Structure 1
């Protein structure tokens, strides 16, 4: 059967909607997008001045000295060996328009002035839906900086700061302020201030990144409705810092060799910290009177959060709670081989179990008459004498003396004043090998 064909006039009269859609497609600037190839900085600068929306500019191998701006929606890409070098000043690439992308470029040597927002890639306000992929960025200031945008995507990049600069003088690997729904994944970020810093942002998703040799891996500040999973942090001051934020879902991440903490919940609410593996939080210069020991998780003035099914192991302190950290659910966790399992500075009696299941505490030898994996007696990870030694660490040499053993026994037999501290009424006796 012969296929029917229609003239433009027939379509216009009989199928106006279809006709309008076809005309819109034909008239769209993207339908006339061109591909341009450049070989040097001068040609690149000239091409950027005359490029049309939707065009692609590809850089051939070579070093492109200078600072370059994307004036409209374009795709900037490079062949292997294409290097943009900002010569130590300003931002290397500035993105001014939405729906632009940068890929497969080596970007280096941008400026160090954080107040002027010097960055490898600077994304301007309202440049929504920008995509930065497969690049290697190395410089002093911010790796990628964006404010007041939406749906920026940063993936499969290597971002390296300057290890010779003081840590707090470096830029962050990815700095996003007032950005909605950013997507950050499969990046390797090192020697920066914070790997990913999110401020007043919402609905972020950060996953499968690798962070090391920096202040914090992921740092949330005044954010809402964020999620992070599959990230690995090593050799940092802190792993995951959740500060003055709400509804953060931090799950299935790892952190090791942190100086201060693996996870921090600081004046944050309604967040979930679950199924994370935190180990080797240790401060060689940590002192109890300063509270700067290495902590698996540090809860400071944070309420209504859920900390569940995490592994906190081999740290100075497994969990440290202070300054109004009551009102959180803590259950199903494993506290393994920490020098101090729990340090709680407060005047309340807190129950750390939920629906008849508590936490696993290495070193606790409880009875289990009915063989259900739960100890028959509650577990108190610290007592009044522990608090005394925290307040007066110079008396620590007495901890293992016979008189202290007698005092602990007396304390267990006679209640002196209202009971405070931590109690796990259903301590688990079996370790969860899945964590």
Structure 2
């Protein structure tokens, strides 16, 4: 390719199968349209608008990559049955990962750190920030607009503005993640009047010291436990009198949904539980 960003090649592939890392030497940006059955691995992309774009792509594996100091690390739109694992997303202004109109995607074993809207505009390639601070920029994982059957598990999500932001997305599972020290919210869920988020299951996560709220829920039909175990909350106000590892009273989730974690993970002994991974 002859197009460049920051002196590196911009790769654009359409209607391709069986792509691999040999196709993308020293990339400045990768854009895939209607591609499938491919693996993107061991690449590093920084200082661009969006590092990796998948549109109408299926069965793509993205692994062992580093996306840093971009506006967005990875964008998936109208893309299904993809796996995103063992990647590092850090210091991206808007989002580490942004999913829209995509189904049956797995996001696991990644690190989302320091994705923060207080980054200066000059830290990424673009024409200024996409929106003012306070409009939910600086998100680790962002799902919006009709995503279904997304599973987010066993990720480290730390020191972002918001760890996970979900809008108008359904049948989502968020489990066994370490979500801590985010500057606003650990998890923020919402829907709109025209479209509704449904059937969201959140359990086994470790919520620690997210500054405004560990979690905020404006969505009906969210389950904050799987009927036997919920999440660890560092600000849980209750006790575990019978020492079964589950708090004796539910944990209240702030937001208009009026949700509860009915089986909060809690240990009255010294120190907090260690995350399971």
Question: What TM-score, normalized to structure 1?
Answer: 0.53
Structure 1 gap ranges (5+): 1-90, 93-109, 113-136, 161-172, 282-293, 388-419
Residue deviations 1:113-148 (CA, integer Å, cap 9, x gap)? xxxxxxxxxxxxxxxxxxxxxxxx834xx6211001
* Secondary structure of 1:247 counterpart: coil
Query: CA separation in 1, counterparts of 2:253 and 2:201?
Result: 16
Residue deviations 1:179-202 (CA, integer Å, cap 9, x gap)? 011210011111122221100010
Corresponding position of 2:33: 177
Corresponding position of 2:10: 143
Query: CA separation in 2, counterparts of 1:302 and 1:343?
Result: 15
Corresponding position of 2:158: 279
Is 2:242 the counterpart of 1:378? no
Query: CA separation in 2, counterparts of 1:298 and 1:433?
Result: 21
Is 2:213 the counterpart of 1:337? no
Cα distance, 1:434 vs structure 2: 3.9
Cα distance, 1:157 vs structure 2: 4.2
Number of equivalenced pairs = 242
* Secondary structure of 1:246 counterpart: coil
Is 2:191 the counterpart of 1:303? no
Corresponding position of 1:10: none
Which structure has more relative contact order (CA 8 Å, sep 6+)? It is 2
Query: CA separation in 2, counterparts of 1:305 and 1:351?
Result: 10
Q: Which has the higher helix share?
A: 1
Query: CA separation in 1, counterparts of 2:148 and 2:221?
Result: 20
Q: Could you list the runs of 4 or more consecutive aligned residues of structure 1 that deviate by over 6 angstroms after TM superposition?
A: none
Residue deviations 1:306-346 (CA, integer Å, cap 9, x gap)? 11001111111111111123311111111110011122224
Corresponding position of 1:426: 263
Corresponding position of 1:362: 234
Query: If you compute each CA radius of gyration, which structure gives the higher value, 1 or 2?
Result: 1
Query: CA separation in 1, counterparts of 2:221 and 2:276?
Result: 31
Structure 2 gap ranges (5+): 117-137, 267-271
Note closer, same or farther for the CA distance 1:424–1:241 as it changes in structure 2 (3 Å cut): same
* Secondary structure of 1:214 counterpart: coil
Is 2:50 the counterpart of 1:194? yes
Query: CA separation in 2, counterparts of 1:249 and 1:278?
Result: 15
Corresponding position of 2:142: 264
RMSD after superposition: 1.9
Corresponding position of 2:129: none
Matches within 5 A, 1:8-407: 91-92=1-2, 110=3, 138-139=7-8, 143-154=10-21, 157-160=25-28, 173-236=29-92, 237-259=94-116, 260-266=138-144, 267-281=146-160, 294-315=161-182, 316-323=184-191, 324-339=196-211, 340-346=213-219, 348=220, 350-382=222-254
Cα distance, 1:432 vs structure 2: 3.2
Contact kept? 1:239, 1:255, Cα under 8 Å: yes
Residue deviations 1:337-394 (CA, integer Å, cap 9, x gap)? 0011122224x364310031001111213211221211011010326xxx6xxxxxxx
Query: CA separation in 2, counterparts of 1:349 and 1:328?
Result: 7
